[in-house]
Amino acid sequence: MLKYIVRRLLLIIPIVLIVSILVFLVIKMIPGDPITIMFGKNANAEQIAYVKTLYGLDKPLTEQYFTWAGNLLRGDWGSSIQSGEPVFQMIMERMPRTIALCFCGILVALVISIPTGVACARRHNSMLDLSLTIMNLTFISIPGFWLGMIFMLIFSVKLRLLPTSGYVSAQESLTGWMQCMILPTITTAATFFASLSRLMRSSMLEVLQQDYISLARIKGNTNGRVYYIHALRNSLIPLVTNIGLTMGYLMGGVVVIEKVFAYPGLGLLLINSITQRDYPLIQGILLIFAIIIVVINLLTDLAYMLIDPKIRFGYKKT
Amino acid sequence: MEQNICLRVNNLQTSFYTDRGVIHSVRGVSFDVRKGEMLGIVGESGCGKSVTAFSILNQVKHPGKIDSGEVIFHGKDLLKLSESEMRKLRGSSMSMIFQEPLTALNPSFSIGWQIAEAYRIQGEKDKAVIRERTIDILRRVKLPEPELRMKEYPYQFSGGMRQRALIALALACKPELVFADEPTTALDVTVQAEILDLIESLQAEMNMSVVLISHNLNLIGERCGRVLVFYAGKIIEEAETAELFKHPAHPYTVGLFGSLLSIHQDGKADPKTMPGEVPNMLDDIRSCSFAPRCPYAETRCFEREPELVPVGPGHYYSCHRPLKGGAK
Amino acid sequence: MRKETLKRLCSLILCLVLAIGTVLTTGCAKTAPAENATEPETAAEAPTEPTDDTITVAIDTEPTHLALSVSPDYITVWVTKNINDFLVQYDPEMKLQFSVAKRIDRIDDKTYEFEIRPGVLFHNGREVKADDVKFSLDYIMDPNNGSSTASYFTSLDRVEVTGDYTGVIYLKEPYAPFVSRLSMVPIIPKECADTLKTSPVGCGPFKFKAWNKDQDIELVRFDDYWKEGYPKAAGLTFKFIKEYNTMHNAFLAGEVDILLWSSFTDIAIWDGTEGVHPQATNLFDSFILVYNTQVEPFNNPLVRKAIALALNKQELIDLTSQGYGKVLDQPVYPGTYFYNDAASYTQDIEAAKALLAQAGYPDGFTCSLKVPNTVQEGGCGDVIQAQLKKIGIDCQLEKMEVSVFIDAVWTKKNFEMCVTGDGSEGEPDTWLSRWIKTGAGNNVGSYSNPELDALIAQGAAASTDEARKEAYDKAFLLMRDEQPITFLFGGYLYSALQDNVQGLQGYANWWFDFDGVYKTK
């Protein structure tokens, strides 16, 4: 198992390499550059040209790439052109916040989707199944950020229960942190709990047709145990796959949610850095995103191992 | 109910309500299971024999529903019990050995865990005792090295081992009545005999009633004391095994024997297949269900369904034509 | 079977109901304006003693750095104006008043003597001396610091310190608006120059406390501020909320005290909502239409004038800014000293068509119009496109992201017509020397007119206001016929305040003072 993990982690290297090249090229293709933006309307061409040489932006693309990649290998992620801060530091400050948001979002989504999916499967084709299905379909069709704004309107503006935006670190105040996290987390969860719930439902329906479920009942298990112990473990595999696939999508969605809630995570930093064409920062953030997604895929596969013993032990037979 | 009757089924009817129409799988089945006996249920696929067993255990899968009937066990009608009462009754007294062990064993849990669960449900709390009993039952089904087997998962076992494990699982709580639904169909021929021997010996040991369901008449003939012949959702013949084999009364049963390959005959294998097919179960069957294939069919056979009538002691058949002594 | 179809029908109906419901709630998302606009509570007496309040101000962009000496863009100004103080400062009527300087005497055209008041302290406790004035100006002029304020001080020769609190400023050539430019120079201490961008130190009413990236900047009262009784508030926090809707909601939820730059569409909402009110600041800014004079037919002044005459500027205001704006036709506003009535003009479509014909384009022509995708400039693009169709000019409208726009127009000068804007403090030279003069930094249209250049220089150097007005009158008349750029409209910035917040002071050049802000109980 350890060998497997190590092998998967090594895979990060070629992936990151390819991503770095793609990211580098794509950003350079966008019109506009950070120096012109920095100077804004008061620019003059000579000043701009001069500052560009300071940042090495006048050199040919391949040279720029290799300089950046070379520095990266030495652990130097470069500095933001706009603020001068080291990119790595800027990313590390914000990454835990974005990961916390994604993680909490997934957790809340699972907490909602698993029971609703199971409930739908249990009372297959009943009114409950019908209404939950409709609710799910509605949520699948609603764009996440719109939902976020509605929640904000209700809970922050009208009811004044939660803050509209901002962030309080957990060290400062645990309750403050939780209050800031609630709306963005629910919005994140809402963007995909519905499809998870549908998946849980269909997966469980399939599992419930199996003989071992009948046997579990014959043995005398309560309904609760039949669904949540016997059936659930076998139904989770498609769910785990889905979460792994959704993660990439989720990272994109989180960017929007961070903007709406002014949540100071990687997503917000990415938007700002793109607006300002802050190349080192954009490249650094996108690279981190790629690494995070690879790691999450690895974790997904590890999760399979927990759930499915066949994968854990290999297909050995006694 | 008489002392030696374990289970009584009265006019059980079960149908499947599908999009294409209603399939009447079990159309009024009544029989008794005596204590300690091995009762055989034989019939083609789709004749309702497995569905009968599932109905008794209340495990009919959607879109199936038990329409009517009584299942009397321990003085209570099982079909009228609530979910929790049914549950209490089932685990300790009735069980089932499924046809395909790979799907009947939960792939995500170890064999030992699944067997131990049966004990836990029965109320056994002591971990050491549970472990002992699990090892014991695994030993009884002749699984080698039960202490190691306990920790393994179903996919790690071979077919025969799985079926043994399944039997262990079914018998873990010493049930009074066990349904064995085609327990050897999925196995190699060589293993079949072993498994059936095992079931027989365990039955004797634990003094259980076993309902052996199969499409294989030979198998039923070798192991069971009494036989029920199913056709198109009804019992069309019922007799003690020896009697059935000597004097099969219903034309279908006769046909079944005719299509058997038996080594006891004079080496000339000449199986006669029965013409025609099993009736479409979507239709309402008003006449004798076997009439279209019966070589002895008369007009009245197409008009109304025959009742089960006695032919000899403990021997019943449902046919309009009277028996003129001996096989036709 | 029927049961199944019934269920499907039910689900369809439920879906429709839900869909309609969600559509309706979007419509009702904003609070409906009340029938009677509530008057803000009459301002209670401003407290004479400093209060304990922290004022929270919401803005939609985060500054990239806090060195006002380096870039006077509006965001940096808003956040850092109150960390700094200046030799002179505008009052609400845009008249210059002395601030850190006690007096500035014009010795002659090119020489100014200044004296600063004693007892002004920097935030690090040290007293401000004439040395610091020299350093502050030198800092701006040092090319290594990359300050864009330097472009306003091209006439500066050197600063000499003559005493603890006195000094003399020498110019290379006469420059009439020089003293007003001093309002842009924050007085900074040499010892803190290195950290100016991240933790600025000045002598203004508020001290820098903390910068929480992506979140806010916190300032606190400078207790030893030289002006008695100021600042009123104990703390000033600028919160960055980059999504306008979120900012709007945060304000409505009472999380921020001031929403500094409100969209025009929200003004009716602020009027109609209990507990909040809008506050207008009159601006001297302008949106402009810029022509690339290197490209046909925009090298022809007749064409440019035709376009200027064809535009219905009031319609521009109505359609892009909810009617909040003033029509402009000169670099200064009507009613101000330098405004030249003779140089004004109004829409005249017939005259426009005639001019076009005269220029050789009786049937009009096709051209491209580039605009940034902001509400007002982007909106102007749409309206101008529609309006110019009436005289036969077919504009291919290209809306683009601001950075792409700047790259296309400023760096590559790849455009034919474009819409942009700028601010002003009412000083004509600000527009003329930065946008109109040959070779000026913002003269992206490459317009060049020696006669106009001479008038611009004359106006800048003249020693009396009357002499300056004489030159500018001629310049504006020339510009009316030449239309190097066409002034469109400008005039208002609206902020939203909670009813208990008083004392916000806005200025025509987009600057804000927060030192007088306080909360009533």
pLDDT band, very low/low/confident/very high, at C34 (cuts 50, 70, 90): very low
Neighbours of A30 (CB within 10 A): 14
The mean pLDDT of C327-331, rounded to a whole number, is 94
pLDDT at residue A312 in the model: 66
Q: Residue C10 above 70 pLDDT?
A: no
Give pLDDT tens digits for B281-302: 777 777 788 877 887 777 878 8
Rounded to an integer, the average pLDDT of C479-491 is: 95
Res A309 pLDDT > 80: no
In the block, which residue shows the tokens 């069709």? A141
pTM, entire model: 0.78
CB C455 within 8 A of CB C239: no
Of A211, A233, A308, the CB nearest to B98: A211
The correct CATH number of B5-104+175-318 out of 3.90.105.10, 3.90.650.10, 1.10.1050.10, 3.40.50.300 is 3.40.50.300
Of B95, B100, B153, the CB nearest to A218: B95
Distance between CA B94 and CA B175 in Å, rounded?
5
Residue C3's pLDDT band (boundaries 50, 70, 90)? low
- The residue among B102 and C181 whose pLDDT is bigger is C181
Domains of chain C: 286-490 (3.10.105.10)
pLDDT at residue B326 in the model: 43
> Which of residues C451 and B216 earns the better pLDDT score?
C451
Question: What sign has the CA pseudo-torsion C37, C41, C46, C49?
Answer: negative
Peptide bond into C231 cis (omega under 30): yes
H/E run at residue B262: none
The count of other CB atoms within 10 Å of the CB of residue C4 is 10
Say what the pLDDT of residue C452 is.
95
Residues B72, B93: contact at Cβ < 8 Å? no
pLDDT in tens, A142-152: 887 788 889 89
**Largest separation between any pair of C-alpha atoms in chain A:** 85
The predicted-structure confidence for C262-280, as pLDDT tens digits, reads as follows 999 999 999 999 999 999 9
Which chain C residue has the Cα nearest residue A41? C442
> C-alpha distances in angstroms, C129 versus A285, C135, C228, C330?
46, 10, 20, 41
- How would residue C29 be classed by pLDDT, with cut points 50, 70 and 90? very low
Q: Which of C62, C239, C442 lies at the smallest CB-CB distance from A41? A: C442
Look at residues B182, B307, B319 and name the one whose alpha carbon lies nearest to residue B254: B319
Best CA proximity match to A121, nearest among A226, A218, A221, A22:
A226
Q: What is the pLDDT of residue A318?
A: 44
Could you write out the three-class secondary structure of C141-153?
Answer: HCHHHCCCHHHHH
Predicted confidence (pLDDT) per residue in B64-95, tens digit: 889 999 998 888 888 888 877 877 776 678 88
Residue C26, pLDDT score: 47
Over 80: is that where the pLDDT of C33 sits? no
For B13, the token pair is 């009817």
> Token pair for residue C90?
């505008």
**Statement: residue B125 has pLDDT above 50:** yes
pLDDT band at C31 (very low <50, low <70, confident <90, very high): very low
Rounded Cα–Cα distance for residues A167 and C214 (Å): 9
Write down the pLDDT at residue C38: 37
Q: How far is B186 from chain A (nearest CA, A)?
A: 15
Residues of chain A with C-beta less than 8 angstroms from the C-beta of B90 = 217-220
pLDDT at C463: 87
CB A151 within 8 A of CB A231: no
Average pLDDT score over residue span A217-245: 86
Which of residues A159 and A247 earns the better pLDDT score? A159
Nearest to A255 by CA among A272, A243, A240, A241: A272
pLDDT at C453 over 90: yes
Q: Give the one of C15, C71, C406 whose C-beta lies nearest to A134's C-beta.
A: C15
pLDDT digits (tens, 9 = 90+) for C378-427: 999 999 999 999 999 999 999 998 888 988 898 889 999 999 999 999 99
Residues B143 and B161: beta-carbon distance below 8 Å: yes
Are B136 and B174 a contacting pair, CB within 8 Å? no
Residue C259 has pLDDT above 60, yes or no: yes
The CA R_g of chain A, rounded to the nearest whole Å, is 24
Range with lowest mean pLDDT among A2-11, A128-137, C460-469: A2-11
C touches which chains (3+ CB pairs under 8 A)? A
What is the mean pLDDT of the segment spanning A152-164? 88
pLDDT at C231: 93
A317 pLDDT more than 60:
no
> Considering chain C, what is the average pLDDT of its residues?
89
Give me the pLDDT at residue C163, please: 94
Do the Cβ atoms of A90 and C62 come within 8 Å? no
Residue A166, sorted as left (phi over 0), alpha (psi -120 to 50) or beta, turns out to be: left
Mean pLDDT, range A212-239, rounded to an integer: 88
A186-210 as b/e: b if 16+ CB within 10 A: bbbbbbbbbbbbbbbbebbbebbeb
* Separation between Cα atoms, residue A163 and residue C342, nearest integer Å: 55
pLDDT at C43: 45
Q: What pLDDT shows up at residue B323?
A: 64
| pLDDT range class, residue C361, cuts 50, 70, 90 | very high
Interface check C75 vs A, CB under 8 A = no
Under the banding of pLDDT at 50, 70 and 90, the label for residue C51 is: confident
For every residue of C438-459, which 3-state class applies, written as one string?
CCCCCCCCCCCCHHHHHHHHHH
Q: Give C507→chain A minimum CA distance, Å.
A: 21
CB contact under 8 A, A217 and B87: yes
Query: pLDDT at position C210, please?
Result: 95
Q: Provide the pLDDT for residue A50.
A: 80
pLDDT over 90 (residue A173)? no
pLDDT digits (tens, 9 = 90+) for B132-188: 989 988 888 888 888 888 888 888 888 888 888 998 888 887 888 999 998 887 777
Report yes or no: C512 and C78 within 8 Å, Cβ to Cβ. Answer: yes
pLDDT at B328 over 80: no
Bridge partners (DSSP) listed for residue A221: none
**Beta carbons of C148 and A264 less than 8 Å apart:** no
Instruction: Please give the residue that has the higher pLDDT: either C178 or B189.
Output: C178
Domain range annotation of chain B: 5-104+175-318
Name the E strands within B99-223.
177-181, 209-214
Contact yes or no for A41 and C29 at CB 8 A:
no
What is the spatial distance between Cα C230 and Cα C208, in angstroms, rounded to a whole number?
16
- Residue of chain A with shortest Cα separation from B99: A211
Domains of chain A, CATH where assigned = 97-281 (1.10.3720)
Q: Which residue do the tokens 């071979």 mark?
A: B158
The predicted model gives C348-367 an average pLDDT of 93
Instruction: With beta carbons less than 8 A apart as the criterion, state whether B272 and B265 touch.
Output: no
Q: Per the structure block, which two tokens stand in for A169?
A: 């670190």
- Residue C136 pLDDT level (bands cut at 50, 70, 90): very high
- The per-residue pLDDT for B249 is 84
- Give the pLDDT mean for C211-229: 92
The set of chains that have 3 or more CB pairs under 8 A with B is A
Number of Cβ within 10 Å of residue C504's Cβ equals: 20
* A62 lies within 8 A of chain C by CB: no
> Scanning the structure block, which residue is given the tokens 């016997």?
A230
Written as six digits, the tokens of C216 are: 């806010």
Q: How confident is the model at residue B261 (pLDDT cuts 50, 70, 90)?
A: low
Alpha carbons C307 and C487: distance in angstroms, whole number = 11
- pLDDT at C169 (0 to 100): 96
**What subunits touch chain A, counting only 3 or more CB pairs under 8 A?**
B, C
Q: Which helix (H) or strand (E) holds C85?
A: none
Nearest CA in chain C to A161: C253
State the CB neighbour count (10 A cutoff) for residue B211.
25
A78 within 8 A of A71, measured Cβ to Cβ: yes
CB contact C15 to A (< 8 Å)? yes
Contact list in A for residue B120 (CB cut-off 8 A) is none
Mean pLDDT confidence for C92-117: 94
Q: Where are the beta strands (DSSP E) in A134-253?
A: none
Q: What is the mean pLDDT of chain A?
A: 85
Q: Is C244 exposed, middle or buried (0-12, 13-18, 19+ CB in 10 A)?
A: middle
Mean pLDDT of all residues in C222-246: 92
Question: How far is Cα B240 from Cα B222, in angstroms, rounded to an integer?
Answer: 12
C192-211 tens-digit pLDDT: 999 998 999 999 999 999 99
What is the mean predicted confidence (pLDDT) over B276-285? 72
Does the beta carbon of C22 lie under 8 angstroms from any beta carbon of chain A? yes
Residue spans of alpha helices (H) in B158-210: 159-171, 189-206
